[in-house]
Chain A
Amino acid sequence: MIETLEHTTFDVKEIRQQFPVLNRLVKGKPLVYFDNAATAQKPKVVIDALTEYYEKYNANIHRGIHSLAEEATAAYEATRDTVQQFINAQHREEIIFTRGVTESINLVAYTYGRTNLKSGDEIIISGMEHHSNIVPWQLIAEMTGAKLRVIPVDDNGELIMEEYYKLLSEKTKIVSIVHASNSLGTINPVKEIIDSAHKAGAVVLVDGAQSTVHLDIDVQELDCDFFAISSHKVYGPTGIGVLYGKKHLLEAMPPFMGGGEMIKDVSFEKTTWNDLPYKFEAGTPNIADTVALKAAIDFINSIGKIAARKHEDALLQYATEQLETVDAVRLIGRAKHKVSVASFVVEGVHPQDLGILLDNQGVAVRTGHHCTQPLMNRLGIPGTTRASFAMYNTKEEINVMIAALNKAIRLLK
């Protein structure tokens, strides 16, 4: 259990040593990496897992009977088991490997959505969704005649839940909602959202892109129907992700892509589908990155999510306090429950200018709309500067950012 690992021994110095990239200089200054919500850096164990796979047992999986193929298959399938435990799924075949959250959402939209939606049905999303949880639904709505409804966001960056309850009806077929906002950090009350959607007869997809690295995820307790994860945001490699789906739903869904692996028997008259999870894993999968994803999850488990979260929360609180001392800074997103994302604007300063000058001082932040344009429109701003923290970040780094920020503002104003 993760809980038992909640140690008093959380040692950020020791953790930093496991991330080779943190040793590098940017523009002659030590890197301060605060773009973790975009992608997290990789610990040595993940990099090693990739190399080891290619050096020692690269083979195509599930087919060959030679030793390498057996080892590769075992490693690939071991990741499925690890993911299953990581999010407490009931069955291992409920874990489908995809390229990431984007593909996971598209998979559900194009299979479950396309077969279950008809004209007049409604899909509910929220006003703080990433474009990847908007556009696939728009495409499917177009195809099926279903309508997209949007839960509004208040000035603090929280969902207006009363409006959600008003939107819910027997027409609602799918609710697809972000667990934690990448732009503001807001943690949404997904459990409530799921329970009331189920009462209305709808299924719920949770976009776990930002939440999985910070929060304990228990898909059975949440009772979500689908849950989407990107490996690169949980210290794993890019190009791999997960779709969790309830078994009975996945079984009833048609395949997403056709090809090898996903079939049982192929003839020109009739082709039958393979069993779960393979029905949704057409073609040679991304074996190396899948294998290395296990190393990433093992790494997180070895630190303990609770210990990491405590550290990250302290960083967020410190950053928030420090940012408030900077003249002209306005924090964007003041939700009660947040993951470690500090978004802000500086009055009279273009975020891009800020981004350039911070980069020049070795500080990597994200500026812009963060792929959430409707949210930025709602908040009446073109974009924000976003600092997002991971377990390897420190208060000293926040001090560096604040100093860099003060200097940048001095130059720009």
Chain B
Amino acid sequence: MSQEVKSIAETEEEIVEEFSLFDSWDEKYEYIIDMGKKLKPLDDVFKKDENKIKGCQSTVWMVSELQGDKVIYKAESDAVIVKGLVSMLIRVLSNHTPQEIIEAKLDFVDRIGMKQHLAQTRSNGLLSMVKQMKLDATVYLAQLSTKN
């Protein structure tokens, strides 16, 4: 099962291309909402406080685990637009090595015009989620290096 995995940069590029098909903001949001609706719900057992990334208005729950040398993320939110953005972040970052994740620039968010959602003012937990994803990767990197 040596399925070819796209690099983080390649997936980012792919998303940017998908969004370039849309002329209007409405279509972009429609697409994000659709992704949000399709995101596999997180098992209720994971929806506990320690996995909660609280924003001012919406909540994100996120868990991660190390499978081999790759980090797998799962997450959900109570707000569907955030969920769509969360789903893109997972698509980009999940199943990569901690080092790759730490180095990821994630400028696709800016390039598809959704940077405002990572801004402080939105305080929807998305920015905290990115931080948490990177923090988890850092912890796994340390674990891997002590093993080797």
Contact = CB atoms under 8 A, between A and B. Distances in A.
B33 A352 contact: no
- Interface residues of chain A: helix, strand, loop or mixed (majority): helix
A353 B25 contact: no
Contacts of B78: 350
A412 B81 CA distance: 9
A404 to B, nearest CB: 11
A352 B57 contact: yes
Interface in B69-122: 78-82
Nearest to B25: A360
Contacts of B33: 353, 411-412
Given A350-B78, A350-B79, A412-B80, A360 B57 contact: no
Contact of B79 (A352, A360, A407, A411): A352
Contacts of A353: 33, 79-82
B25 A356 contact: no
Contact of A383 (B29, B57, B82, B124): B57
Contact of B81 (A356, A368, A407): A356
A356 B30 CA distance: 12
Given A367-B57, A368-B57, A383-B57, A352 B29 contact: no
A352 B33 CA distance: 13
B58 interface: yes
| B-side interface size class | 10 to 19
B139 interface: no
Contact of B30 (A27, A367, A368, A411): A411
B44 interface: no
B142 interface: no
B49 interface: no
B56 interface: yes
Contact of A360 (B29, B56, B82): B29
A352 B82 contact: yes
Interface string A392-413: 0000000000000001000110
A357 interface: yes
Q: Which of A27, A356, A357, A367 has the most CB of B within 10 A?
A: A356
Interface of B: 25-26, 29-30, 33, 56-58, 78-82, 124
19 contacts: A350-B78, A350-B79, A350-B80, A351-B57, A352-B58, A352-B79, A352-B81, A352-B82, A353-B33, A353-B79, A353-B82, A356-B29, A357-B29, A360-B29, A367-B57, A368-B56, A407-B26, A411-B26, A412-B80
The 4 nearest A-B residue pairs measured at CB: A350-B79, A352-B57, A352-B79, A352-B58
Interface of A: 27, 350-353, 355-357, 360, 367-368, 383, 407, 411-412
